[in-house]
Structure 1
Amino acid sequence: MSVWGEVVVGLAIMIGLLGIIVPILPGVILIFGAILVWAIMTGGATAWIVFAVASVFLVISGVIKYTWPGRKMKEAGVSNRALFLGAILGIAGFFIIPVVGLFVGFVLGVYLSEYQRLKQGEPAWQTTKHALKGVGLSMLIELFGALLATGIWLIGAFVA
């Protein structure tokens, strides 16, 4: 692959990493796709091994991202209904309030659901904080897997 091709792949991976931090773009899908395109264009055993290892990192982090924080939120008493309502209001907030609407909508949705369920403000806020910690942990896990995949791609790009 040409140097410019690798620069474009690197930019796509960087945009994917930003998409994990600011959940507007499908970060992991962009990273996966960019490394796949690189492997196809580069060819050879090294490129396909890099793609396979990067894919394993992305899949493992994706599985852990949904299981570990979910279990921690369940232990803290966060209801599935609260997470669902938080997601719905987060999506709505994304379109209503530019930039911060996703975050504001999620927090509002979880809090309102928990307030309705618990009938008290302080316990609802405590549950909302646990939900925020779970979402933050989920993002960190996904980012860690994506950074490992990116590191493997960088090594492969220099070797291949």
Structure 2
Amino acid sequence: MSAGGIVLVALVIAVGLVGIIVPILPGGILVIAAIGVWAWVEGGAAAWGVFGIAAAFFAAAAVIKYTWPARRMRDAQVRTSVLVAGAVVGVVGFFVIPVVGLLIGFVGGVFAAEMATRRNLARAWASTMHAIKGVALSVGVELTGALLATVTWAVGVYLTA
């Protein structure tokens, strides 16, 4: 692959990494797709081996990002219906207040749903904090997987150059 192609792949990976933190784009998918395009254009066993390792990091992070925070929230007795309400209000908030509305809507939705069902301010706030920590943990796991895939790609570019 030419130097310009490698720079383009690196830019897409960078946009994907930002997309994980600022949930506008499907960040992890962009990262693995860019590495896949690089492997396809580069060709050869080394490039596909790099893609396989990067895809394994991506897949492991995808599984962990859903199971680990969900288990922690279940242990904290945060109900799924409360999280769904937070997600719905978060999506609405995303369109009302671009970018930060997703976070504000999610937090407000979780808090409002918990208050509506339990009518306990302390419990509603505790559930909201657990939900925020769960989302942060999920983002952190996805970012770690994408960064490991990116490092794998960078090593692959060096080795195949």
Task: Report the TM range for the smaller structure's normalisation.
Answer: over 0.9
Partner residue in 2 for 1:18? 18
2:68 counterpart letter in structure 1:
W
Q: Does residue 30 of structure 2 align to residue 49 of structure 1? A: no
Q: What is the 5 A alignment of 1:1-160?
A: 1-160=1-160
Q: C-alpha offsets along residues 76-107 of structure 1, whole Å, 9 cap, x if unaligned?
A: 01110111011101100000012310000000
Residue 114 of structure 1: CA displacement?
Answer: 0.6
1:7 counterpart letter in structure 2:
V
Runs of 4+ in 1 over 6 A off after TM superposition: none
Q: Number of residues paired by the alignment?
A: 160
Q: Secondary structure at the match of 2:9?
A: helix
**Structure 1 length-normalised TM:** 0.99
**Structure 2 length-normalised TM:** 0.98
Paired with 1:4 and 1:132, the residues of 2 have a C-alpha distance of: 40
Which piece of structure 1 moves more, 115-124 or 105-114? 115-124
Paired with 1:155 and 1:92, the residues of 2 have a C-alpha distance of: 41
2:140 counterpart letter in structure 1:
L
Q: Contact 2:24/2:99 (CA < 8 Å) preserved in 1? A: no
2:44 counterpart letter in structure 1:
G
Paired with 1:139 and 1:99, the residues of 2 have a C-alpha distance of: 15
CA RMSD of aligned residues (A): 0.6
- Return 5+ residue gaps in structure 2 as ranges: none
Paired with 1:2 and 1:69, the residues of 2 have a C-alpha distance of: 41
- Return 5+ residue gaps in structure 1 as ranges: none
1:38 counterpart letter in structure 2:
W
